[in-house]
Amino acid sequence: MASRPKKILDEPLLCEPDGYAGNPERKSPPTQTVHHWSLTLMLERAETLRRIARYGHGSATEPVTKYPRHCTMLTFRGHDGVAELHDDFADLYLVLDGHATMVTGGVLIGGLPIDEGEYRGLHIEDGLSRELRVGDVVHVPAGVPHQILVGADRTVTCFVVRIKETA
């Protein structure tokens, strides 16, 4: 029987375990851990997600860590994503590999609730399109429709931080 693929957090790289490195007098609370993931580690995991996507519906996402007001995830896309909108969460995307087009703003067409404050739709009408390439960072505020489009011959891998926004 094959073993399950390792999650990124199976081997976290912890840094600054003894407190704030810039000032030895200032110590972090002992319950707080600094997480560090190298680009190499994330891209290795993305290869596993790529294989999972190939046998599924063309994309795969893995949660990395949950924190009190945000969470992180790694996502691979080999096809267009659905259009989405979150009432209370902003998304911060960092493109690690590949490239795609992100559509933001406009109107979410065919949007249906999938959870409280979470909507998925068919596409976005009258949105603004931006090309995303390795190293690009995009912040999508809560309440803004967004969609990642990947052409037939492209893929994209992103590290995503979902941030709880308050009014």
What confidence tens digit (pLDDT) does each residue in 12-36 have? 433 344 444 455 566 655 567 888 8
pLDDT at 2: 47
Give CA–CA dist 151/12, Å, rounded: 33
Give CA–CA dist 124/120, Å, rounded: 10
Give CA–CA dist 77/101, Å, rounded: 12
Find all residues with CB under 8 Å of 28, minimum gap 6, and list them: 16, 19, 20, 34
Mean pLDDT in residue range 41-68: 92
Indicate whether this model's pTM tops 0.95: no
Tokens standing for 81? 């994503």
pLDDT at 82: 93
CATH class of 8-164: mainly beta
Domain boundaries, the chain: 8-164
Give CA–CA dist 122/108, Å, rounded: 8
pLDDT at 100 over 50: yes
Average pLDDT, the chain: 86
